[in-house]
Structure 1
Amino acid sequence: MNTEPPQGDDLQQMLVSMKQNVLARAELDRPAPKRRGRRAGIVIGIIAVLGIGVGSGAVALGMVPQPFTAAPAPSPTVTEPTQTPTKSSAPVVNEPTATPTPTPTRKPFALDDPSTWTISGNEFGPVAIGGETGAETDDLGVAYQHDRANDVCGPEFGSSWARDGQPTLIVWSANGRVIGVNAWVPPGVGERGVVGPTTSSGLGIGSTLDELREAYPDLVDDPVYTKDVEPLPAPDAYTAWKTETDTGWITFALGEDGVHVDNVVIGEISGISCD
């Protein structure tokens, strides 16, 4: 028995014969008119199947098995997640702002310029209370000249120092060390304005009593330096006022008008005598 499927001309002849048989049988079994549509549909379907068979040969008849390969599954589309920028969780650090440097109200200290010197309870410019007299007056000599003719009881006791346009200074000493300093101007000079070294508040010779009281609420009368003049030409004339600082006392003596300072004293010089 030949089990090989027909091929070539044999296959075509077989298919033609099958078509003829189908058409003949369809003619014999033609249904009533009301069923014509159904039969026609069957015939058309058979012819369509046979037509497919002509094109595909043994595959349409099932003689030559062919594997069915499923269409490849679509590859999943991978969508990259959109990166949404998020705010940093790091704390916001404010850049420090530069602190403005305060404008100085006084000139920088200059040894050769007495107007830049500061008066405190224990220093008068470059001269410090308690310092060795020779060393302290050497510094003073940069701006002043030693006026030996006006020394008080000799240079070892009260040396006088002069400079044009500046108050006269007297450096008081005991046992070779400075115990006090005072600066003074002739009568009337202080009334023309502040001159010479001043305190950290900018007060000194030429300042008024009202200015002293405003700057130093603790200002008190200093009877030791009050001038003994009768009758007084004006209230509080020829009097002295003092304030206590963290480094000692500063005394301001008023001039003839009883308003303006003409003498500033630091240290302990009350009761000094050449005897």
Structure 2
Amino acid sequence: MNTEPPTGDDLQRMLVTMKQSVLDRAEDRKPAPRRRGRRTGIAIGVIALLGLGATSGGVALGMIPQPFAAAPAPTSTPSPTEPAAPSTPAAAPVEETPDPAPTPSATPSVTPTKGAFALDDPSTWIISGNEVGPVALGGTTEAESDDLEQAYRLVPATPSSCTAPGTWARDGSPTLRITDDDDRVTGVLIGAEGDRPRTTTAGPTTPAGIGVGSSSDALHAAYPSLQEKVSTASGAWSRWDLELPDGLVSFQLDNDGAHVDSVWVSSDKNLPTSVCDL
């Protein structure tokens, strides 16, 4: 014999059957019209019974132990996902940075224009701070003077002509005077005393083309850093010194100050004394 209380559909069917049985009995016991109040009471009782039955069924359902408990539904653990990479706008404008414009370098005022010189052509000889063509300061007087024979002739030193020892002459070119001390060359004077004033350059020049006969304007344009040194008390003519990395070069202007009269290459800032002044 099954002693377990009805559950589920069985309980619902039992409640419906009970409701139907109560209604049938109420119909069979239908009272006379004069007993209207009793019928109302019976109806109220049936409704109360039905409510009680529904409530009892709900209570029964809650109190009746279930034979099996459903296992909790498995919960899914979200799989780790890689962090989204930051998006880059596909249409982002590309800006090109222009290369900085090169800073123009200062153009040197003196640009060497002369190449290798020829021993027999003094116009190709270069004047620097320690050399004039093949003649180098510090060398022995004989060794440095030998090369001059291909372009110049040695002028005899005579007091009557105011010619100093070591003077070399060439037609059409300024003279050269080699000064020495203990048989070592100490200086070279281009345009020695006795030379006529020149307005054209026909002898050795600096890399910028400045030599005896060059104009004063060309001299100052080529060498803006010239230092003025007045050589006479009256200021009849002037002298301008140029300090080069390899030595000193001095330019002496003629009496009108318009052209270079002589060029002195030596570590000694004083020009050699004229023979006629001795």
Following TM superposition, by how much is the alpha carbon of 1:206 offset from its aligned partner in structure 2, in angstroms? Answer: 1.2
Q: CA offsets per residue over residues 172-227 of structure 1, 9 Å max, x none?
A: 00000000010116566322x1220000001011112221221112101124xx13
Following TM superposition, by how much is the alpha carbon of 1:262 offset from its aligned partner in structure 2, in angstroms? Answer: 0.9
Whether 1:144 aligns to 2:158 is no
Change (3 A) 1:198 1:151: farther
Instruction: Name the structure 2 match of 1:245.
Output: 244
Instruction: Name the structure 2 match of 1:222.
Output: 229
Following TM superposition, by how much is the alpha carbon of 1:246 offset from its aligned partner in structure 2, in angstroms? Answer: 1.0
Q: How does 1:50-199 map to 2 (within 5 A)?
A: 105-106=113-114, 108-150=116-158, 158-184=165-191, 189-191=197-199, 193-199=200-206
Following TM superposition, by how much is the alpha carbon of 1:105 offset from its aligned partner in structure 2, in angstroms? Answer: 3.9
Contact 1:151-1:159 at 8 Å conserved across structures: no
Change (3 A) 1:239 1:151: same
Change (3 A) 1:250 1:215: same
Contact 1:119-1:199 at 8 Å conserved across structures: yes
Where 1:181 maps in the other structure, the secondary structure is: strand
* CA distance in structure 2 between the partners assigned to 1:151 and 1:123 by the alignment: 28
Contact 1:109-1:116 at 8 Å conserved across structures: yes
Change (3 A) 1:264 1:176: same
1:209 to 208, 212, 216: 216
Following TM superposition, by how much is the alpha carbon of 1:140 offset from its aligned partner in structure 2, in angstroms? Answer: 1.3
What's the % identity of the aligned pairs? 43
Contact 2:175-2:195 at 8 Å conserved across structures: no
Q: CA offsets per residue over residues 231-267 of structure 1, 9 Å max, x none?
A: x5xxxx5110011111111100001211100100010
Contact 1:204-1:261 at 8 Å conserved across structures: yes
Instruction: Name the structure 2 match of 1:260.
Output: 259
* CA distance in structure 1 between the partners assigned to 2:158 and 2:129 by the alignment: 25
Where 1:270 maps in the other structure, the secondary structure is: coil
Following TM superposition, by how much is the alpha carbon of 1:149 offset from its aligned partner in structure 2, in angstroms? Answer: 2.9
Following TM superposition, by how much is the alpha carbon of 1:151 offset from its aligned partner in structure 2, in angstroms? Answer: 8.3
Following TM superposition, by how much is the alpha carbon of 1:141 offset from its aligned partner in structure 2, in angstroms? Answer: 1.5
Change (3 A) 1:128 1:184: same
Amino acid at match of 2:143: A
* CA distance in structure 2 between the partners assigned to 1:172 and 1:269 by the alignment: 13
* CA distance in structure 2 between the partners assigned to 1:151 and 1:133 by the alignment: 22
Contact 1:252-1:263 at 8 Å conserved across structures: yes
CA RMSD of aligned residues (A): 2.8
* CA distance in structure 2 between the partners assigned to 1:272 and 1:109 by the alignment: 27
* CA distance in structure 1 between the partners assigned to 2:201 and 2:260 by the alignment: 9
* CA distance in structure 2 between the partners assigned to 1:272 and 1:189 by the alignment: 19
Contact 2:156-2:165 at 8 Å conserved across structures: no
* CA distance in structure 1 between the partners assigned to 2:159 and 2:113 by the alignment: 35
Where 1:149 maps in the other structure, the secondary structure is: coil
Amino acid at match of 2:129: G
Where 2:250 maps in the other structure, the secondary structure is: strand
Contact 1:143-1:163 at 8 Å conserved across structures: yes
Where 2:180 maps in the other structure, the secondary structure is: strand
